[in-house]
Amino acid sequence: MTKSASAARTVHFDALHAFTKDAFESAGLQPPDAVTGADVLATTDSWGVFTHGTKSLAGYLRRLQTGGLRPRGIPRVASEGGAWAIVDGDSALGMVTSVFAVRTAIAKARQQGIAYVGVRNSCHFGAAGYYTWLAAQEGFIGIAMSNDIPSVAAPGSRGAITGSNPLSYAVPAGRYRPMLLDMSTATVAGGKVYAARMRGEPIPDTWLVGADGKPTTDPSGYPQIGALQPAAGHKGYGLSLLIETLSGLLTGAAFTWRVGNWMWDDGKQPTNHGAAFVVIDTNAIMPAAQFASRMESLIDEIHAAPLAEGASQLRVPGEIEWERHEQAMKQGIALPEDVLTNLRKAADMAGLSPEWLT
């Protein structure tokens, strides 16, 4: 491991995973649940998606310690049919509830060909892509989404209307790693706006609207003032409302401003986030080998397409993340300083002092 007081630090995946697991256990999670949380966060870091990995660990620990998350919460199926279910998360760690829900969807899709599983009484679940990857590992197409407290404007609004409501899909792809997309329905992650505010730097006028609803390059009031712009304008707004419907309204979870703020409140109350997972068994529709061959042909076609001047290659969603993952598993994960800062907070909260973090 290389060390630096002011730059990225490379940490082995196993060391990061073990620390995260121990931190969750210090907050009262049972070992299997602590492993689940560590799997989600450390894997997300291995993809290079540092906004949704272990950087959030201290925030989860705070909620576990103050009561907004129940360390011994047990997700359960509250109601179900042949190809659907609603899971009550019992205010457990969001990653624990979401893994339970997507595995429920996989089991139902194995029987029915397709399944929808909605979640209520949950919390922030990290990176949506982790759950769709679980489905793709089983040879299924996975779709995952979640709602959140509003932070994104609608076209023409003077403030936030919907959450950044993430959407992910993963598709098994034969000899290739799964095609994997994980996106917010905002133009940019709020963390990037906040980071620019901390540095005192202007932002592109496509990121944020001010209190008047007009695009601004000034991030100084965010997040108290202004709202993120929706991705692709009305298109991102429309997608966000679909996610709100499937994750919040249909599940019985909170929606829009009724969702608790998992980052900024006192951590003592459940947030009642909603989530939704759709799993499709391709083998129920056509032989799995035939579907895999067709996916390979699609990706081969994209890779072979003519390039614009200055471009070096064409990729499908997820290829960059899988390359980062492969490198991380061999050489370690280069954690940025902002992640390390938050991990030090988590270490203090958990009473841990790993050598690589000092």
pLDDT for the residue 5: 40
pLDDT for the residue 346: 98
Q: How far is CA 310 from CA 18, 231, 301, 316, in A?
A: 42, 26, 20, 18
What's this model's pTM, rounded to 2 decimal places? 0.95
pLDDT for the residue 50: 94
**DSSP label at residue 311:** -
Q: Looking at the chain, which residues constitute the CATH 3.30.60.50 domain(s)?
A: 187-229
Q: Which residues are catalytic?
A: 124
Q: Looking at the chain, which residues constitute the CATH 1.10.1530.10 domain(s)?
A: 9-68+330-357
Residue 222 CB: number of other CB atoms within 10 A? 21
Which residues are paired to 173 by β-bridges? 176
- pLDDT per position as a tens digit, 18-49: 999 999 999 999 999 999 999 999 999 999 99
Low-confidence stretches of the chain (pLDDT beneath 50): 1-6
CA atoms within 13 A on the CB side of 310: 0
Contact in structure between 37 and 16 (CB atoms under 8 Å)? no
pLDDT for the residue 61: 98
pLDDT for the residue 7: 64
Phi, psi dihedrals of residue 166, rounded to the nearest 5°? -75, 155
pLDDT for the residue 212: 94
CATH architecture type of domain 9-68+330-357: Orthogonal Bundle (1.10)
Smallest CA-to-CA distance from 201 within 187, 219, 222 is with 219
DSSP 48-87: T-GGGSGGGHHHHHHHHHHTSS-TT---EEEEEETTEEEE
CATH architecture type of domain 187-229: 2-Layer Sandwich (3.30)
* Cα 91-96-101 angle, rounded to 5 deg: 95
